[in-house]
Structure 1
Amino acid sequence: MTVSDTHQQLYQVGAHPLERSVDEVKQLAEAIWYHGYRPTRAELERLRDLMPRDGFQRTLCVLELLSQYPVCRRDTARHLQALTRQFHRQLLGHDDTPTQGRYSPSKRWGLSDATAPLRKALLPLQTRTYADATGHQHGLSGSKAGPRQERP
């Protein structure tokens, strides 16, 4: 996957309400969880210049959501959480990420989008059987698994 492909994927994730972006989110999850894709701050800054604010917030919401799954590698999850915290402070002026329990990333990002369809669609992609079948390292591999700051 090239940089322009992933940039386009990030754009598509936020271009529509989350319940209409399920396929795009699944593709992004595959790229992040199994192919080592880690969006950079510079890449997200460029994306912010191209997208309406609510679309950019959707993209950040999805990145935060994907970081919460145990199948996301620990280093990638921390990277995504740090990026989303920085942008949350810039866009909304504060960062009140809960460190325990369930919460709604879409509400945290000021969106009315439902994340339930995304969570349901991501279930088959984040099982240990599926993850191991990819042949790639993932958050459930060996000692890389462990408790996360947040969980879906």
Structure 2
Amino acid sequence: MAAVSSNSWLYRAGKQPFDRSVSDVKQLAEAVWYRGYCPTSEDLEDLWRTVDRQQFQRMLCVLELLSQYPVCQRKTARHLQMLTGQFHERLFGHVEKPTQGRYSPSKRWGLSEKTGALRKALLPLQTRTYADATGRDHGLSA
């Protein structure tokens, strides 16, 4: 259970369907984009043992989604994409991730839920004005 407390943002973001976890995903986005939170492979292993498969897939989907925003620091984005890629392969076998254009992260993670509400809620958090107002480094920093 220690993994749940040390990764509570991530745990809460995946616990419920996306339409009911908007505020939790926003808190996770703040932590990842502006406070340096970046789960490790061990963190995800611990969470995988704690939650059911669908909840775990939601967590990974959200991490992948957060890594795609320009406000996410490049190093963090690469790390999250590497982690989510490793777990995607473990869950689904080797499937090529789309490299160009838009794709549905929820479909990629085998979820029937849509991410539209999450994307809409994250828009204000990822503007340059908001990012600069945090006083922290971010992906849009010069």
Q: What TM-score, normalized to structure 2?
A: 0.95
Contact 2:18 2:118 in 1 (8 A): yes
Structure 1 spans left out of the alignment, 5+ residues: 143-152
- Partner secondary structure for residue 81 of structure 2: helix
Q: CA deviation at 1:5?
A: 4.6
**Equivalent in the alignment of 2:41:** 41
Counterparts of 1:17-28 in structure 2 under 5 Å?
17-28=17-28
What's the CA shift string for 1:43-91, capped at 9, x where partnerless?
A: 0000000000010000000000000000000000000000000000001
**Equivalent in the alignment of 2:126:** 126
Contact 1:85 1:95 in 2 (8 A): no
One-letter amino acid of the counterpart of residue 95, structure 2? D
**Equivalent in the alignment of 2:79:** 79
CA RMSD of superposed structures (Å) = 1.1
**Equivalent in the alignment of 2:93:** 93
Runs of at least 4 residues off by over 2 Å: 3-6
**Equivalent in the alignment of 2:138:** 138
Question: 2 CA distance for matches of 1:79 and 1:19?
Answer: 26
**Equivalent in the alignment of 1:64:** 64
Question: 2 CA distance for matches of 1:12 and 1:89?
Answer: 23
Q: CA deviation at 1:6?
A: 4.7
- Partner secondary structure for residue 85 of structure 1: helix
Identity over aligned pairs, percent:
66
Q: CA deviation at 1:96?
A: 2.0
Q: What TM-score, normalized to structure 1?
A: 0.89
Contact 2:4 2:11 in 1 (8 A): no
One-letter amino acid of the counterpart of residue 22, structure 2? V
Judged with a 3 Å threshold, the aligned counterparts in structure 2 of structure 1 residues 14 and 82 are, in CA distance, closer, same or farther, namely same
Question: 2 CA distance for matches of 1:121 and 1:47?
Answer: 25
Contact 1:11 1:47 in 2 (8 A): yes
Q: Report the count of equivalent residues.
A: 140
One-letter amino acid of the counterpart of residue 105, structure 1? P
